[in-house]
Amino acid sequence: MGYKSMADCVADLKRHKLLRQIDCEVDPHLEIGMIQRRVCENRGPALLFTNIKGCEFPLLGNLFATLERTRFIFRDALKRIELLSDLKVDPARIFRQPARLRHLPQALMHMLPHRVKEGAVVARQTSIERLPQLKSWPDDGGAFITLPQVYSEDPGKPGWRSSNLGMYRVQISGGDYEPGREVGLHYQLHRGIGLHHAAARESGQPLKVNIIVGGPPSLALAAVMPLPDGMPEIAFAGLLGGHSIPLVQPEGGLVMPAEADFCICGTILENKLLPEGPFGDHLGYYSLQHGFPVVRVDKVYHRLGAIWPFTTVGRPPQEDTTFGKFIHELTGDLIPSVLPGVTGVHAVDAAGVHPLLLAQGSERYLPYEER
């Protein structure tokens, strides 16, 4: 069984001496990011910072910085994913091994989120200004949320079944944003949230979003997974975590994971773009300012004992290197069924993981004979 909250994960890492708690005061302006990068470079432990200058919430860094620790966190997920992979790659293989079928229905049931009336995440409310103001690089345009899970729904088909949960960076200070009331949301048009936003604009509806931080580690991994169309990340998180994700829905809002640590609820403003950035990006240079959508913040929820996970991106290798490697371990067996003729792929970390993919395959096209 996977972790049901980030606090469960932290406690387990402590028990196994895979986490170091830092109680001296650290500054979220540049210092904490520098510490995290140095420890990441040396393959060190996860870091729990409990004394943050100007902030009441502890920060958790380096959580996924080594492949060994990521495998440990998701150690119970690998067999469940293997079953799903086997079903996709060769369904007959599953039915030739009936003994394995007894595990499959339960695993699939974990992919169905369930509603709850009360959730830990809505225990308290705070403001954008009181959240960790994390600035990782000197020329960053403000403070950013670096491990966000942005939840949106198709306005034509509301509900989690047509939802998207993606890791799109969020700028919470600086620039021309109204302090405490507006945040910047950086995404590409072809992403799931981009399709939802386009549909909302076409229908003249506002698009509500929830920006989730923390919660079960399976949520963060699901948010960066290259899932096929029609597979909601919130459902896949249940499979990864080995339990159905409980969802709570405050009046008038979208559903949110009940065990999340934080949730910023807001609405993307219609036809309003503001310069977002600069931001020290995973390619090793600053992405410059460009106009991106603006979210008007309605409420900021957090649970008691909330923990704020973060990462720092920059010239590879960084923590996102591990995401790329681990995702390949989970999905590598699926490649031949999705792309016939392709026998292997390799995401080039030196290029920032996802911009460059090398593929190995066999030629399937037989040209016409010369006439």
Q: Is 49 helix (H, G, I), strand (E, B) or coil?
A: strand
User: Is 273 within 8 Å of 280 (Cβ atoms)?
Assistant: no
Residue 145's DSSP bridge partners are: 170
Amino acid code (one letter) for 100: R
Q: Is 335 helix (H, G, I), strand (E, B) or coil?
A: helix
Query: How do the pLDDT tens digits run along the chain, 371 residues long?
Result: 689 999 999 999 999 999 999 999 999 999 999 999 999 999 999 999 999 999 999 999 999 999 999 999 999 887 777 766 666 544 445 445 555 545 556 767 788 899 999 999 999 999 999 999 999 999 999 999 999 999 999 999 999 999 999 999 999 999 999 999 999 999 876 678 989 999 999 998 899 999 999 999 999 999 998 877 778 999 989 989 999 999 999 999 999 999 999 999 999 998 899 999 999 887 788 888 999 999 999 999 999 999 999 999 878 777 877 877 888 787 776 666 666 777 777 777 666 666 677 777 876 655 655 54
Please give the Cα distance from 96 to 114 (Å, whole number).
32
- Nearest-10 crossing angle of helices 319-331, 77-89: 50
DSSP state of 186: -
Q: 240 φ, ψ to 5°?
A: -60, -40
User: Is 208 within 8 Å of 196 (Cβ atoms)?
Assistant: no
Structural domains in the chain plus CATH codes = 6-326 (2.30.110.10)
Q: Is 153 helix (H, G, I), strand (E, B) or coil?
A: strand
Angle (CA) 95-98-99 rounded to 5° is: 145
Q: How many CB atoms are located within 10 Å of the residue 84 CB?
A: 18
Please give the Cα distance from 4 to 259 (Å, whole number).
7
Amino acid code (one letter) for 224: V
Cβ-proximal residues to 288 (8 Å cutoff; 6+ apart), any chain: 277, 278
Q: What is residue 119's predicted lDDT score, i.e. its pLDDT?
A: 96
Cβ-proximal residues to 191 (8 Å cutoff; 6+ apart), any chain: 164, 166, 168
Tell me the CA distances in angstroms from 88 to 39, 94, 160, 220, 236, one per residue in order. 39, 10, 23, 24, 15
Q: Given 3-state DSSP classes, what are the helix, strand and coil percentages for the chain, each rounded to the nearest 5?
A: 30, 25, 40
Single pTM value for the model: 0.89
Tell me the CA distances in angstroms from 298 to 50, 211, 259, one per residue in order. 28, 11, 20
